[in-house]
Amino acid sequence: MENRIIIQKIGLKVTRANLLVLEILKKSPSPLSAKNIWQKTKKEVNLVSIYRILDKFKKAKIIYEDSIDSARPEKIYHLSPSHHHHLICQKCHKIFCTPCQVKIKTPKNFTIIRHQIQIIGLCDKCQV
């Protein structure tokens, strides 16, 4: 789908900033932080606007937000509507997506509202 159509569909104005952020997310194979996106816009869009746009995209459920490291409160985003998890390489900080396979045994009448998983490892290039 064309970017402008996606933006219209979720009820936003077709602005240069909205289009740019969407395009960057579309082109990226791995999730990005707001700062990563900001750098990729070549600082054409300010960081506050990027946070605002990401928030709108999140509410429209076209992007997925996750935090990968409790030591780094920065959130990461990518174009995917569904819940999944991320693996991060400790050395090069590359991020990989993985489907959710969580099956937790809960006490009786305990309802899980959300969960978060931190998976830290070494990618194939960093294992040498």
Exposed, middle or buried, 105 (CB in 10 Å: 0-12/13-18/19+)? exposed
Residue 89 near Zn ion by CB under 5 A: yes
Q: Is the dihedral of CA 114, 51, 22, 43 positive or negative?
A: negative
Find where tokens 């050395």 sit: 91
Decide if 80 contacts 95 (C-beta within 8 A). no
Q: State which residue, 52 or 75, has the beta carbon closest to Zn ion.
A: 75
Tokens of 60: 């429209």
Q: Residue 100, interface with Zn ion (CB under 5 A)?
A: yes
Cβ nearer to Zn ion, comparing 48 with 102: 102
Nearer residue to Zn ion within complex by CB, 17 or 97? 97
Based on the shown chain and the rule CB under 5 A, indicate whether residue 102 belongs to the binding site for Zn ion.
Answer: yes
**Within positions 23 to 82, which residues make up the interface with Zn ion, using CB under 5 A?**
31, 78
Give the residue with the Cβ less far from Zn ion, 49 or 80: 80
CA R_g for the chain: 16
* Binding interface with Zn ion (CB under 5 A): 31, 78, 89, 91-92, 94, 97, 100, 102, 123, 126
